[in-house]
Amino acid sequence: MQTWNTRTSTLFESLRRHRILLIVLVLHCALWAGFDQFFSPHPDYIDHWTQSRHLSLSYYEHPPGVALLIRGLTTLLGNSEASLQAAALAVNLALLALGYGLARRLYGALAGIFTLAAFEATVFFQVKSTAIQTEQPLVLFWLLSLAIAIDYLSRGGKGRLLLLGVTTGLGALSKYSMVLFYVGLFVYYLVVPSRRRELLNPWQYVGGLVSLLVFSPVLIWNYQHEWESFRFQLSKGGVQPGIVFGTGSVNFLLGFLFLYGTVLVVWVLWRMLRQVARRELPDGPDTLLVMMSLVPVVFFTVTLLRSIYSDPQVAVIAMISMHVWLGGEASRLWERGRRRFIAWGLGSALAINAALLVLVIAHAVHPFLPIDPLWDPTRQIVGWREAGAETEQLLRERGIPQPAYVASAFYPLSSQFELHMSGHPLPFSFRREERDLWIPAGAMTPENTLLVCVEEECNWLPPLAARRFGWTLKEVGSVRPVVWGTPRQEVRLFRAISPADAKSGPSR
């Protein structure tokens, strides 16, 4: 009886100590679970779900980590849309808790709360609550690797270096940018004189070999596919003719400020750069986090100077390190009496993020912002459940059997129909056919394939189908669901027919 009382007391004490975390997680969960009732998953998430159903050593665009994570979660939760949304929410709640826990462990309870607030003040942790993409497993293993590296730096032990090799390898299985963890660690060893001896520690390199071994499935796959995934990723940062020098870098930095909290990122970068300029780089977690923040930002800024590619999500690892460091710095300033300054900074960041969230949701419900439909992200998450249901109804009315495959010019559109049609037809992308590893050669026929397009894509679809399969297309109808009183994107539906049959009706 005494044992039960002790355990109960310990549990309640633990809950009391972390009550702020629990309150934030409950509120976060309630908000985004409610959001999921009205909006569909992002098509990139659906695409990763497809990959999770057809596991491979790697994929055309990225390593297999995200597919493995989704496969594990859907094995437990199921493959419905609701299960996918629950899985995404669970992963993002876990990441918030991990970031809080690392900051609390390094700097104390107050730092954990400030880091948690900083995460909630970023667009990233808001929008990613509805999806699992390559960034989430990357963040997971980046945080775990940070914790292990800090353990090693404070306590030593070759076993920790081997474990670090495992977590960094798993991070690289999620996204190639995990290699910057070792770059940041190397820079840390260089700038801290007392740590330079680590550059001669053979166990550092044994840990690197462990990381490479964990990553080896991606190397095997790329060897078998003529290094296709590596070439695709390297092309993003390659020199592109006609691009004004620095355009990609400027766009990347502006996107980085927006996505990860303008107020907080500007303040943290200023404080970090001042610390580096003054050579205030002692041996400790502050300096490690500074290197882990600045190295990715500098790396991507430089590599994108002559590129049009400027997605700030590639530097999410910098944001994670920044906000953990921010927790420690903010807690120190708070204890020194700078409470109004910290409250204003975090409060304004949270308010700006909340305002942006309200604006996006309002626009998704009834579009009113002057955004080109092609670039409107809300169009990717509204109306697709209804479009899938209306498509199935139209096919029944036309006497057309449910398709086994759905094809479109680009994968996001066919992915929407894969999830939102009851038969989950496999998606095919004409523009990136090499990515469709789940479709056997010769499996797609005019009888089992539905072709879909929107807007100007409908001008591209017929020649693409003719060039790839020799098909002539005939339109069988279109769907344009009305959601919340607003007509959504019109989707035109096509079937492939023989040249002789094409004369009997309008074709495109």
Query: Read out DSSP for 404-429?
Result: SEEEESSHHHHHHHHHHSTT-PEEEE
Pair 252, 301: CB distance under 8 Å? yes
Amino acid in position 225: H
Q: What is the Cα–Cα distance from 503 to 133, expressed in whole angstroms? A: 45
Nearest to 449 by CA among 407, 411, 412, 409: 407
> For 233, phi and psi rounded to 5 degrees?
-65, -40
Q: In whole numbers, what is the pLDDT of the chain averaged over residues?
A: 90
User: 3-state SS string over 162-215?
Assistant: HHHHHHHHHHHCCCHHHHHHHHHHHHHHHHCHHHHHHHHCHHHHHHHHHHHHHH
Nearest to 287 by CA among 199, 200, 187, 155: 187
Nearest to 122 by CA among 263, 324, 239: 263
Q: For the segment 4-47, what is each residue's pLDDT rounded down to a tens digit? A: 333 444 556 666 788 899 999 999 999 999 999 999 999 999 99
Q: Give pLDDT, residue 502.
A: 54
> Taking the chain (508 residues) in consecutive chunks of 10 residues, what is each chunk's mean pLDDT?
40 74 94 92 94 94 95 94 95 96 95 96 86 95 97 93 98 96 96 94 96 97 91 72 79 89 91 90 94 96 84 92 96 95 94 92 91 83 95 95 95 94 94 87 93 93 94 95 92 83 49
Pair 111, 285: CB distance under 8 Å? no
Pair 444, 405: CB distance under 8 Å? yes
Q: For the segment 35-74, what is each residue's pLDDT rounded down to a tens digit? A: 999 999 999 999 999 999 999 999 988 999 999 999 999 9
Pair 287, 273: CB distance under 8 Å? no
The conformation of residue 435, written as its DSSP 8-state character, comes to: G
Q: What is the Cα–Cα distance from 427 to 19, expressed in whole angstroms? A: 44
Give the three-state DSSP class for 455: coil
Q: For the segment 279-337, what is each residue's pLDDT rounded down to a tens digit? A: 889 999 999 999 999 999 999 999 888 877 788 888 999 999 999 999 999 999 999 99
Q: Give pLDDT, residue 232.
A: 85
